[in-house]
Amino acid sequence: MTKSWIDGIDWARKPLFLAIAEAIERALESGSLKNGESLPPHRECARQLGVALGTVTRAYAEAERNGLIVGNRRGGTRIAARREEGADFGSFGRRREDLIDLGINYPGPAEDPDPAAALQAIARRLDRRALLRYPPTSGSLPHRKAYAAFLGTMGIEVAPDGVLLCSGAQHGIDVLLQALFKPGDHVAVEELCYPGFLGSARHYGLRLHAVSLDDEGLLPEELDALCGRTRISALYCVPSFQNPTGALMSEERKRSIAEIARRRDLVIIEDEIYRPLAGSSAPPAFVALAPERTCLVSSLSKAVCGGLRVGGIVAPQAFMERLEKRILSSIWAAAPLGFEILLNWMEDGTIRDTVARRRASNAARQVLAARILGTIAGLRLRAGRGNLFAWMSLPEGVRRGRVLAEALERGIALAPSELFVLDGADPPEALRLSISTTADIEDLELALSRLAAIIDELSRGSPRSSPRVGGGIDYAP
């Protein structure tokens, strides 16, 4: 037994068997106990610690229940084999070992909530096996209430019977497109649009039309003119921290669009996946301004964690039957266990605390990005304050393809603007930076410093480069 493990036992912790089990966990997290390492037999451990044999037996049983150790009669007790950090979960988008990925857009692991307390509370429930049974297609009432309460934390008041549970926002988008539209229908979208929506819309044969953006989001007058030329059935938009530009749509802008939607008989699909990160600065949602024609889709994925695949659709009652049928035919119903964790997290404040941590961490990372990139002439950064990405417009004469290639050579992945445009459209010379994905802010600083050097070199080599005046960062209003 290593001395570091003995030193890690909190002898004041009662009961003592839990203190020993917790010391094993801390030693495993610190690396002083390794995967597959043997632990002393029960009697030997009790002798070395100077405790009763029954205390060690209970401690080992607790550690095994928590997945920390495994034991058998022949092989003794060993540390359970665990996945290496980043080797499986959370490694989406990582293409080589040394790559710092600022391209894929997911919340950073450092602020992930710990599910232990919620899982233990679930395990103590006498009816826990009910979570393994088929739920109602719309979701059980307690889980719909929990999701409605989650929406309430971001200023969206909705009754539980107006919510349908789904497996993340992307699943919700697919359900809406399949249930409400048919191939050939015309849908208006932002000129720079979430790639997941573009992929689904193309797959289902929808005809997309781009509406120009400014610093508040899509332009109402251009949407109205488009509806005058073409029979538009719906509008899809991301009002809070628009992906990829970071624009935050004002209430006045939303009211103008809602009026157009009523006059032109449009369905509004509002994707509010980033809204929790906007805090109190987010104006009323379309579902409050035009509830009779708005479908809102959201999830926990960007503001809390992505792995639970917990999401929801808010829709007018006139649409509910069609949407439920599509959920039924796609996955039958969303898995209840993730929503039970949501329910626990809503009750104990984990959702509130996690969102606050993420907003603070993202804000600090945006300040870092502004400090490192903001001195480059002609470069513009735009971000929603507290959001997890920034939109970087390159200096005149600097081409995104050169930046992407050079960045990849130096171990940095980025998201180019062509991911966000409609087929046939000309992408702007811009890149999206996902500033939250690195576990350590030091890795982000390294990547941004390399990126700044690349853009600076390319900018200096451009005959059209601007005077060397810093640009800083623009925040969504």
Helix (H, G, I), strand (E, B) or coil at 289: helix
For each of the domains in the chain, give its residue range(s) and CATH number, in order of start: 3-79 (1.10.10.10), 116-348 (3.40.640.10), 353-475 (3.90.1150.10)
Percent of the chain scored above 90 by pLDDT? 68
Local structure of residue 290 (DSSP, 8 states)? S
Could you give the count of Cα atoms lying within 13 Å of 189 in the half-sphere of its Cβ? Answer: 26
The values of phi and psi at residue 313, to 5°, are: -120, 130
Burial of 123 (C-beta count, 10 Å sphere; 0-12/13-18/19+): exposed
- The SS3 assignment for 85 reads coil
Whether 298 shows a pLDDT value over 50: the answer reads yes
Q: How far apart are CA 150 and CA 148, in angstroms?
A: 5
**C-alpha angle with apex 402: 396 to 406, nearest 5 degrees?**
125
Which neighbouring-strand residues pair with 268?
A: 235, 294
pLDDT tens digits, 232-260? 999 999 999 999 999 999 999 999 999 99
Backbone angles phi, psi at 312, to 5 degrees: -155, 155
Q: Tell me how far CA of residue 477 lies from CA of 97, 278, 282, in angstroms.
A: 38, 10, 10
Q: What is the pLDDT of residue 74?
A: 52
Tally of helices (H runs) and strands (E runs) in the chain: 17, 19
Q: Calculate the CA dihedral of residues 447, 449, 455, 458 and round it to 10 degrees.
A: -110
- Mean of the per-residue pLDDT values of the chain: 88
CB 326 within 8 A of CB 204: no
Q: Distance of CA 210 to CAs 114, 122, 215, 296, Å?
A: 41, 46, 16, 20
Whether residue 5 has pLDDT greater than 70 = yes
Indicate if the pLDDT at residue 88 is higher than 60. Answer: no
**10-63 residue pLDDT tens:** 888 778 888 888 888 888 877 788 877 888 888 888 888 888 888 888 888 778
Exposure of 438 in the CB half-sphere (CA atoms within 13 A): 21
pLDDT at 96: 52
Give the pLDDT confidence score for residue 384 in this predicted structure.
87
Distance (Å, rounded) from C-alpha 134 to C-alpha 334? 9
Mean pLDDT, residues 186-196: 96
Distance of CA 205 to the CA centre of its chain: 27
Residue 327 to residue 317: CA distance in whole angstroms: 15
Q: CA nearest 385: which of 369, 399, 401, 400?
A: 369
- Tokens, residue 204: 């289902």
What is the pLDDT at residue 462?
54
Q: Are strands 232-237 and 267-271 parallel, antiparallel or unpaired?
A: parallel
User: Would the pLDDT of 92 be above 60?
Assistant: no
Residue 94 has pLDDT above 70, yes or no: no
Alpha-helical regions (H) of 332-440? 336-348, 350-373, 400-409
Residues sharing a CB contact under 8 Å with residue 263, sequence separation 6 or more, in sequence order: none
The pTM for the full model equals: 0.79
